[in-house]
Amino acid sequence: MTNESTSSHELIPTEEKGGHPAGSHDRGLLLIGLFKLAKAIFFFCVGVGAIHLLHKDLEDEVMRLALRFKFDPESRFVSLLLDKVDLIDAHRLRQISVATFGYSALALTEGVGLLLEKVWAEYLTLILTVSFLPWELYELVRRPDWFRLSLLLINLAVLWYLVWLLRRKKLLGTG
């Protein structure tokens, strides 16, 4: 005689390491992980752009873009850009590409680790977020604008969430 009844504990999802039901994922980590992946893609594109500009006349490229986007070539904005690109040589473009590819790889590592809900990725993201806060504060004080303020607030929210999550996991004895 077979027992076809199912015990009630089999219907309740079991808890995984992260402290949430099996099959579900931490939405906060998912959101932060996707944000990190978006940053990885952005900085990868910046690195590719820097390499693309290696053997080109940057002043010509700025003028071409200004005309393409209907900026007045005599405008203050275009003049400022032309002054800034004068400071960039092939060596500096290589430095920019190496730095942005490195940062892209770091953001990719963070993003994938967070999407996989790895505790090491949570700590890595926490450490990196804290390490960039002084620079972000300096930049915000030096040149305040909504973009810099938004980045700072996003990073403070990420920091708060990761500290909260890691403390919660420690209290629950998970992770």
Averaged over successive runs of 10 residues, the pLDDT of the chain (175 residues) comes to: 47 46 76 96 96 90 88 87 88 95 97 95 95 94 94 94 91 70
CA gap 45, 37 in Å, rounded: 12
- Counted residue by residue, the chain has a size of 175
Which pLDDT value is given to residue 8? 44
DSSP string, 120-160: HHHHHHHHHHHHHHHHHHHHHHHS--HHHHHHHHHHHHHHH
Which pLDDT value is given to residue 25? 79
